[in-house]
Amino acid sequence: MARVFISGSSTGLGLLAGRWLAARGHGVTLHARNEQRTDELRAALPQAAVVLGDLSRIAAACSVAEQVNALGRHDAVIHNAAVYRQPDRIETDDGLSLTFAVNVLAPYLLTALIERPDRLVYMTSGLQNGAAPDLRDAQWTRRRWNWLQAYSDSKLFDTMLAFGVARRWPEVRSNAVSPGWVATRMGGAGAPDDLDLGAETQAWLAAGDDPAAEMTGQYLFHRQRYDVPACVRDTRAQEALFTYCAELTGQRLG
């Protein structure tokens, strides 16, 4: 049985993925941003371990990685934490855009700091098709804020992380998954896609017990592979993103 860490798993898709895995006998470590959500998590999935930390802050993301490592090696990590509709540009304690800090920098840091697992899953979105891998103003300090573009760009960067890690770490199966537009707290009640299916693919990849899931460097929606924007496979673009994140955090990816 696998042991899986899921970031941003106090509600929504992360918690559903945790329940999917736990129901099949896998060990699960969940993550909550604050103490209140920790209590809710322990009530929702009592058998799971729980780590705590606000992933918008670099120091707190490092602490989350330390907590995960202290529990022992995990077979898989699902990078699920994200923020979506931010009407205004919110600046974190580190002087970064909240959207970039949570959606991109946190999975980069957790990837760099958590003991290397066998499988990595990065949650992304079909909105990446309308994004651009331009790091010149990734923090939106010069442009007029556009929350949808910022989110779309962050999801493109997440897919680039997945593909770049797959290239750098060939022994690790690293993939990106779009859950679709589902009715979570983030997606809203009117979202049209299937919520259960939205949580299934990432859990299936993380479990690692189906030969059909033995793939890497892929982008999936409901277990099916789809094409990605050309920049995702561009080695120079991947390396530029790794370098940028390393400069912001002081932590290089091995």
Query: What is the set of active-site residues?
Result: 151, 155
The answer to whether residues 120 and 158 touch, using CB atoms and an 8 Å cutoff, is no
Is 154 in contact with 99 (CB distance < 8 Å)?
A: yes
**C-alpha–C-alpha distance, residues 125 and 144, integer Å:** 23
Residue 72 CB-density burial (10 A; 0-12 exposed, 13-18 middle, 19+ buried): exposed
Helix (H) / strand (E) containing 147: helix 147-168
**Cα separation, 159 vs 58, whole angstroms:** 21
Q: Evaluate whether 114 touches 68 at the Cβ level (below 8 Å).
A: yes
Calculate the CA 238 to chain-centre distance. Answer: 16
